[in-house]
A and B are shown apart, each in its own frame.
Chain A
Amino acid sequence: VTLRITGGRVYDPANGVAGDQRDVCLSAGKVVEEVPEGAARIDARGMVVMPGGVDIHAHIAGPAVNAARRLAPEEHRADVHDRSAVMRSGTGGTVPSTFVTGYRYALLGYTTVVEAAAPPLAARHVLAELRDTPMIDAAFLVLLGNNVALFDLIRRDPARVRDAVAWWLEATGGYGVKLVNAGGVERWKRGRGDVTSLDDEVAGVTPRQVIEAIAGAVHELELPHPVHVHCSNLGVAGNWRTTLDTLHTLEGRRAHLAHLQFHAYGGRPGGRLRSRAPDLAEYLGAHPEFSADVGQVMFGPATTMTADAPVSERLRDVTGGKWVNADTEVETGCGIVPFTYREKNYVHALQWGIGLELFLLSRDPWRLVLSTDHPNGGSFLSYPRLIRLLMDRDFRNDQLRRANKRAIQRTVLLDDLDREYTLEEIAIVTRAGPARLLGLRDKGHLGAGADADVTIYDERADREEMFATPRYVIKGGRVIVRDGELVEALAGDLLRVEAPYDPAVDDVLRDRFEERYSVQFDSYPVCEPWLLEPARRVAAGRPG
């Protein structure tokens, strides 16, 4: 299949193209230099052409997501999706069913999504849901920050940690490594409360040791995506110090911080939140080895779901409503609380403002990329509105005036922060940047050899409308959205890492398994081809 997209304004920041009118040629699922005369054409005059969107941090598949679905019959009833000639039916809301998740990402122009928190023990469940999530290529990050078998290795046999990390990735089909409140969840599961500092003791290690050991292992393995860190003390006043302490601990290695907004709070512990976004934006700007996604909150309904179960326990006491807690042996916790962010609420408005501060003070869009931590800060369906907030100062100021005044006064948003993101910067924070941070060299750009994942928007003054309804979306060279309608359903690939390790680690782990897990060591690694394929391997190691 060959296709020429002609006459559009192309935004391909990875290749230095910023709005030039040029053709993009696709053949056999890849971007190519030229296609023969007579190839099919899309007339993209008056349109904006970008690589397919890449979501670096979302929660779309696995036991936590599914437990959240089961909590939300009201949302599902109000947002149904009919079966059609090409689509399965389903339901939406903040936690859509799997098929609808895939369709809606595609309709939004996103073609690659990272599930950011998979319990390794539940890998088969995560993979089975991804198999039922069409349209997108998907990768997932495995939770290793509260793994007591790894803690044991860190204490007794630290030289093996690197092989063990690679083993876990291979055993699950994972792409990268996630730390969530390292040590804190395990400490809380032991009934000793959450950690407050990186030097609290948990099972013979400290959060700092865990972060150092696992970040070090990821660094040495040269995984395509650096360690992906959800810092401790999420949501707590004064937590920016923990965030900085985490970054100091990581210095010298690459790292990605998840949903930085939730970790950018000043104020005294137990007191009112303040914004420390300017300090963190400054620090991030000065440290090229670090990156983050924002985790913007958007006013309206959300579902908080996190492996950081102590946070959910605090939140349930705020809402008094539905709450799920689910402890996974050896590895992690999980908490879910449906939540609504309200613009008149001081805390919610400040969170919203801090996210915007981070975006607007960011010096390098390649390293501070867009997320709402879907569905924690809001649904991925709110990305177009977020883009408008970034691109349209008048719209933003209008929204600022409607939000809680005391909260907004605590930010620098009213201090002539009149930056407006350009289309090039939006292309960076929604595709080129995330793809680069993930080490997905075939994604997020339109140079020859890239995957033929392309989104074409009608150029419109209302950026929310423009980004909410792409005119065309092309995945692997096939037109899947035409005139805003989904016209073809297809299965995406699993993106998994390939990181070699010493097989001798099997025996080291086997002993630790029989003691701790309630499944057999030999049952643990996923081997079912229908769960793992079709997959694409991304090799660890420096790009050659």
Chain B
Amino acid sequence: MPSPERAGAARHRSATCGGCGLVCDDITAVVGDDGGLERLIRTCPLGDAWFAQRAGPRPPAARVDGREAGVEAALDEAAAILGRARAPLVYGLGQTSCEAQRAAVALAEAIGAVIDPAGPLLDGASGLASTARGSSTATLGEVRDRAEIVMVWRADPVATHPRLLERLRLPEAGRALVVVDARRTATAAQADTFVELAADLALEALSTLRAHVRGSAVVPVAGLEPLGDLAARLRGSRNVAILHHLPGHVEALALHALVRDLFGVTHAVALTLRHEANAAGAENVLAWQTGYPAAVGFATGHPRASPGELAGAAVLARGDADAALVVGSDPLAHLPPPAAERLRAIPVVSVDARSTATADAARVAFTTGAAGVHRPGVAHRLDGVPVPLRAVLTSSRPSDEEVLAAIAERVARPGEDAA
């Protein structure tokens, strides 16, 4: 036990927030005498909610069929489900540490599963575009210190990444925040320039902007008149950063083409405003272990990627998965209805630090010690920078990584009695 003076001094602890893709590492967690979280300094509302979901009252560490179970018994049940599945799916991964993601890929390989991060569904198709053509990106500090124009393209970070503008030191004299969107969002309200753009014109708008940037012939489209001026401003700026959250593959390719052409004129980068804290990590871990960032199947004994065919939502919607392991994700809250329906029909193992709809409906649910609250770990911020998640509270619950490793161990020796 620490002495009272020491305990007093240690009550303020450095913390990292997993509330969104910004992964702010300047948080202070104040820990009460009872060992619980008393308050947080510098968090935004999303951050407060993120900590509350993990530090507040939660379901028991392990449940089977909705009823509290011993962790060992639940591990046995989880291993039995995944071990006998013929076409298991491993899904999610955006809200856990790189260490757990690493364990999830190992387990997916061992059981011949399809593994797919939720990121491509939640954050749009820019990953596919970057595989096809590449990308130009930068870390947040680069955008903050160099971008003369920050253009937010059809996204609303004031709502989804509440501290983004603060972290980019916007507004600031000499730098412009330009927002292009279909409606006057909270972010638009803070912009120097707001360009209203009908949602169904997004693709035409990117092509038109690109044509202006290249100086090629522009087909006039009603509603896109302001883009000529915008292109001139982009061309005249020394450094442009485009922050976006694009839904479609074609739009993502068009944005990439714009950035690439702009790069011939000025320095230009683009960043996807990823929602989940470690969505970037999920794709990075999968890429370094398999060569592919998403939609990877291990059924043939080696990784095979097929973004349309093996995306988690597609596998479920086709009825191809006969069991699922969901890690750090709540797919029942975000999957399209046909996929969600299938997920309800098959045995699911959920591994998550939060209580989720998916966990509540799962055959086996582990509610774990959270990376960033109870356990250390690493997350890759939306710009790819690896940031340490820190343990500010204690918990006897196993971490995501430990649960996954324990399942993998049981799957590897199926004949033995775990007791």
Contacts and interface: CB of A to CB of B under 8 A. Distances in A.
Chains A and B form a bound pair: yes
A329 B291 contact: no
Interface stretch (A87-95, A473-481, A486-494): A87-95
B183 interface: no
Contacts of A522: 14
B267 A91 contact: no
Interface string B84-124: 00000000000000110010001001000000000000000
A327 B137 contact: yes
Given A121-B139, A328-B139, A530 B303 contact: no
B144 A518 contact: yes
A322 B129 CA distance: 10
Interface string A423-439: 00000000000000000
Interface string A106-127: 0000000000000001111100
B260 interface: yes
Contacts of B301: 82-83, 89
B25 interface: yes
8 contacts: A66-B287, A89-B298, A90-B303, A96-B291, A191-B238, A329-B141, A329-B142, A523-B387
Interface string A322-351: 111111111000001000000000000000
B346 interface: no
B18 interface: no
Interface stretch (A20-28, A43-51, A73-81, A240-248): A73-81
B97 to A, nearest CB: 10
A63 interface: yes
B269 A327 contact: yes
A73 B305 contact: yes
A89 B302 contact: yes
B387 A519 contact: yes
A83 B291 contact: no
Contacts of B99: 530
Interface in A110-149: 121-125, 128-129, 132
B388 interface: yes
A189 B291 contact: no
A171 interface: no
Consensus secondary structure, chain A interface: mixed
B180 to A, nearest CB: 22
Given A83-B109, A518-B144, A88 B289 contact: yes
Contacts of A519: 25, 385, 387
B142 A122 contact: no
The interface size bin for chain A is 35 or more
B291 A91 contact: yes
B8 to A, nearest CB: 20
Interface string A92-104: 0101111100000
Contacts of B167: 518
A413 interface: no
A88 B291 contact: no
A175 B134 CA distance: 31
Contacts of B238: 190-191
B260 A323 contact: yes
Interface string A184-202: 0000011100000000000
B303 A91 contact: yes
Contacts of B26: 520
B152 to A, nearest CB: 18
A89 to B, nearest CB: 4
Contacts of A190: 146, 238
A327 B142 contact: yes
A494 to B, nearest CB: 16
Interface string A28-59: 00000000000000000000000000000000
A82 B293 CA distance: 18
B110 to A, nearest CB: 8
B291 A325 contact: no
B263 interface: yes
Contact of A523 (B288, B302, B388): B388
Interface string B298-319: 1001111100000000000000
Given A70-B127, A125-B386, A326-B138, 5 more contacts: A76-B291, A191-B239, A518-B140, A519-B25, A523-B16
Nearest to B264: A317
A90 B302 contact: yes
A80 B285 CA distance: 18
A50 B266 CA distance: 52
Given A82-B301, A124-B386, A326 B289 contact: no
A189 B142 contact: yes
Contact of B267 (A70, A81, A82, A191): A191
A97 B137 contact: no
Contacts of A89: 109, 290, 298, 301-303
A19 B123 CA distance: 60
Given A88-B109, A322-B133, A516 B291 contact: no
Contacts of B142: 189, 327-329
B136 interface: yes
Nearest to B106: A88
Nearest to A65: B288
Given A80-B302, A83-B301, A66 B284 contact: yes
